Structure 1
């Protein structure tokens, strides 16, 4: 069941209040799950139940995505600011230094939280920020095209497309290697989430100059990349390993950019292995 929590962000010119939606299940050490741009916390549903057998799992809608309110207009969406906001969220939930798992934008934010000393371990699935400039332009163009398509589709057409495997492939084939496995109602919901994401443009604008160039020392880090990632090519994982030399680099065979649905058991195992090594 989704709940909301409000907390204070320290951001110039003064403190601001943010409200975030989240789901929490399970018991054990805390594990925070972060989705990618334009997505919502339901992206983690294929693995959150598996992980809840061992961890206190908290999946969040990032500010301006899913059911979470956008950040105030004068608060930037750069990774450092959003990471500090997530740190404040953890404090509001009574969570200290959770394990972190993030996908795409969420992977970048998880690494930033780890660098700030706010994590016990980090598992980053196809994290943003390790691109070349042509790769970034390609990814941003593809994301904008996905959003434009989501906004243009009448709801009855969206439901009709999602009801068939070829339609689901047309809607989500750029992020899943096995889009036919996604439930029709899930495809409709995530397409609507992309359409309505109030933080989408501000996040893209803040992400243009982002290159992740800093190490994340002192804690276990896993960089995992889908072998069939069409949005951020797997070669970016090699750059990530060079940037964070202590990280474990894992290939997710047969998985796309959002691997949680393509192979839930494999993704859950990679996250568990990283957390257990802390």
Structure 2
């Protein structure tokens, strides 16, 4: 069952309380799951039960996304704020340096947690931050178009479209290579999550100048990219390998930008192999 946890973080205006919604299941070494911009923790639902057979799985809604409230006044949605906040979240949950797996924005955050020595291993699926300026502008334009559609389309239309594979393709083909596999209920829920994400605009603005440029020596790192990623093209994975030369670079055949839905067994295997 989902739960919430609150913890204090520092800000230029003094301590602020951040509240995060999460779900925790399984046993073993801790594994923190981080979703992408505009999504929510349920993006990981297709793989959670597999992972929970070997890991203490903690799937979180990032601040300002899903069921997590927006960050309080005085806190920005940038890496220098969100990464320490995730470290404080782990402390509040009594978790010491978890394995971390993330997708897109969550992949970038996972790498940053690794850079700050707050993770024992990192698995990043199509992580942000390895783009050229042109690739970033394209990705942001697609994300803004998705957000605009989610906010403008009436809920009854979303529900009607979600009932057919063709309709789910209309709503989610930007992130899934196999949108017909996503359940109607999940498509409706993630469309509403995108429309209502309070942290979306500020996170996108903060990402305009972000690039990941540092190696992570001594840390097990896996970077995985779907061959059908239409949002962050797969050549960015080659750049990630050049920047983090000891990283394991994994190809995900037939998978889109959010591969957990497209091939749950493969994604779970990549995470478990990378965190052993």
TM over 0.5: yes
Aligned residues: CA RMSD: 0.6
Kindly tell me the number of residue pairs found equivalent between the two proteins.
276
Which residue matches 2:198? 198
Shift, 1:9, TM fit: 1.1
Which residue matches 1:119? 119
Alignment of 1:122-201 (within 5 A): 122-201=122-201
Shift, 1:97, TM fit: 0.2
Shift, 1:202, TM fit: 0.4
Give, in whole Å, the separation in 2 of the partners of 1:64 and 1:164. Answer: 30
Report the TM-score when normalising by structure 2: 0.99
Greater shift in the superposed pair: 78-87 or 185-194: 78-87
SS at match of 1:18: strand
SS at match of 1:57: strand
Which residue matches 1:96? 96
Shift, 1:246, TM fit: 1.1
Shift, 1:216, TM fit: 1.5
2:86 pairs with 1:86:
yes
Which residue matches 1:238? 238
Segments ≥4 residues shifted beyond 6 Å: none
Give, in whole Å, the separation in 2 of the partners of 1:80 and 1:180. Answer: 38
Shift, 1:136, TM fit: 0.3
Give, in whole Å, the separation in 1 of the partners of 2:166 and 2:134. Answer: 30
Shift, 1:16, TM fit: 1.0
SS at match of 1:25: strand
Which residue matches 2:76? 76
Give, in whole Å, the separation in 2 of the partners of 1:10 and 1:90. Answer: 16
Alignment of 1:10-25 (within 5 A): 10-25=10-25
SS at match of 1:208: helix
Shift, 1:25, TM fit: 0.1
Deviations 1:230-274 (A, max 9, x none): 000000001111111111100011000000000000000000001
Which residue matches 1:274? 274
SS at match of 1:144: helix
Give, in whole Å, the separation in 2 of the partners of 1:17 and 1:177. Answer: 38
SS at match of 2:205: helix
Give, in whole Å, the separation in 1 of the partners of 2:217 and 2:14. Answer: 31
Q: What are structure 2's unaligned runs of at least 5 residues?
A: none
Q: What are structure 1's unaligned runs of at least 5 residues?
A: none
Report the TM-score when normalising by structure 1: 0.98
Contact 1:220–1:274 under 8 Å retained in 2: yes
